[in-house]
Amino acid sequence: MPFFIDTSALFKRYQPEKGTTAVTRILEDHSQPLYISSITIVEMISNLKRLFEVDKITSEKQFQLQRDFFYKDIVTLNITILDITSEDVIKAEDLILKRYMKPVDSIQLAIALNMKNDDITFVSADQRLCKIAAQEGLKTLTP
């Protein structure tokens, strides 16, 4: 089954925390296609930068290593990056009209829903987002 991985789950690959092992297992499986949205790239770099610059959890060198590791993974793990389309924006608005969602979450979910793949598993560390994804008919996994 293909996996659409949102930023909250993918982040665990680059900053060890609860769920890192599960995410790493999915990413390194190589038997199933992996998808992220283009917005995940911006979110990931922002989150990694926050660890260094705001939270002071990592050093600048660690930030650079994490960033490099992320970009290397995109290539070596054959992660497909899905661009945001106008159809995704319309679907994201529909999702927000049904129930309040953060804008980025609605876009992530809309992209996964618009993939038109009945077999896709939506992977997110956000339990509320996974609950909404399940209500929308997606299989979900919360690492």
* pLDDT for the residue 1: 84
Residue 14 CA to residue 70 CA, distance in Å, equals: 7
Question: Which structural domain, as residue segments, surrounds residue 107?
Answer: 3-141
Residue 70 CA to residue 42 CA, distance in Å, equals: 12
* pLDDT for the residue 123: 97
Q: What is the mean pLDDT of residues 27-46?
A: 95
Identify the band that residue 25 occupies on the pLDDT scale cut at 50, 70 and 90: very high
Give the ranges where 15-59 is alpha helix by DSSP (H).
Answer: 20-28, 38-53
Identify the band that residue 47 occupies on the pLDDT scale cut at 50, 70 and 90: very high
- Window from 7-11, 114-118, 120-124 with minimum mean pLDDT: 114-118
Tally of domains within the chain: 1
* pLDDT for the residue 116: 76
Give the SS3 label for residue 75: helix
Give the SS3 label for residue 37: strand
Residue 35 CA to residue 26 CA, distance in Å, equals: 11
Checking if the pLDDT of 118 tops 80, the result is no
* pLDDT for the residue 30: 83
* pLDDT for the residue 102: 96
Query: What's the CATH code of the domain at 31?
Result: 3.40.50.1010
Residue carrying the six token digits 């926050």: 50
* pLDDT for the residue 138: 95
Amino acid at 25: R
How many degrees, rounded to 5, is the angle at CA 33 between CA 13 and CA 20?
15
